[in-house]
Amino acid sequence: MLSHQPRVAVLSTTRAPGLDYLLGRARLVAFVATDPANRDLGRVADAGIPAAVRDIRAFYGTAGLPLKDLELRRAFDHQTAVLLAEQSPDLIITCGYLHILTAPLLETYRGRIINVHDSDLPSYPGLHATRDAVIAGERSTRSVVHVVTPNVDAGPVLVRSWPFPTHPLLGDARRWGAVDILKAYAYAQREWMMRSAWGPLMDEAIRCVADGAAVARTLDPPEPAAMAAVVRSAGAV
């Protein structure tokens, strides 16, 4: 349990869905993007939050190694840990962060790195969680925030979103074997969750960490007016 509002750093790749919801609510002290084209760098700068670009593709390109090389990732993560130390974060959120974290970050911030994921873990881990759930015929999907551990998408869940129903006509697409339709629908389903739920999920997860909560919480769906405000704050990206 923390006696103060947590100092939060956000790690992201091309965008951080739900970030706008946190601006003005959370104590954001750092934003690190691994892609120089990250869509949220401008709004972070406008909010006066220290931001940095750590171009992971350039880092690997200089070494002449593929992105999947986790030994080099340790060096990359060590440099990120050194950078973050300047802001003394209590908590790190990986939001739209597309890379596996390694020991230099996981050990420095043991139990203090959390991730937003687009499935009701432990079901459907990995980068294609919503697509996998839709193809499998799930009647609804959820997103969660969980603690990051060395095993990908395997850490304890802190907060679950409300369920997002899937359309019953998807049954036709599955019968037809129309994977193209299912993938297109899954994209929209994931965007729906990210734009409406990821901000409130991260906000509640920060409270869970501050309170020392030991039991996973589930968010109730917002009222229509509140939902509209959340979606507006998410913008058209």
Q: What are the tens digits of pLDDT across the range 76-94?
A: 999 999 999 999 999 999 9
Q: How far apart are CA 78 and CA 233, in angstroms?
A: 34
More confident residue, 95 or 236: 95
Q: Is 167 inside a domain boundary?
A: yes
Amino acid 236: pLDDT: 43
CATH number of the domain within which 158 lies: 3.40.50.170
CA angle 39, 45, 51 (to 5 degrees): 80
Q: What are the tens digits of pLDDT across the range 157-199?
A: 999 999 999 999 999 999 999 999 999 999 999 999 999 999 9
Total Cβ atoms within 10 A of residue 50: 15
Residues of the chain with pLDDT > 90, as a percent, come to 89
Q: Is 2 inside a domain boundary?
A: no
Q: Residues 102-122: what's their mean pLDDT?
A: 97
Q: Number of structural domains, the chain? A: 1
Q: What are the tens digits of pLDDT across the range 144-153?
A: 999 999 999 9
- Above 70 in pLDDT, residue 226? no
More confident residue, 21 or 222: 21
Residue 91 is given by DSSP the state E
Q: Is 58 inside a domain boundary?
A: yes
Does this model's pTM top 0.75? My answer is yes
Residues 6+ apart with CB under 8 A from 95: 10, 11, 12, 16, 17, 18, 19, 115, 116, 198, 202
Q: Is 69 inside a domain boundary?
A: yes
Q: Is 228 inside a domain boundary?
A: yes
Amino acid 229: pLDDT: 56
Strands (E), the chain: 7-12, 27-33, 51-53, 91-94, 113-117, 140-141, 144-147, 157-160, 164-165, 217-218
Tokens of 18: 């739900």
Q: Is 218 inside a domain boundary?
A: yes
First CA to last CA distance, the chain: 35
Q: Is 1 inside a domain boundary?
A: no
- Above 80 in pLDDT, residue 102? yes
Amino acid 161: pLDDT: 98
Range of the domain at 85: 7-234
Of 108, 101, 198, 193, which is closest to residue 148 (Cα–Cα)?
101
Helix axis angle for 224-234 and 179-211, nearest 10°, is: 100
Please answer whether residues 143 and 193 qualify as being in contact, where contact means their C-beta atoms are separated by less than 8 angstroms: yes
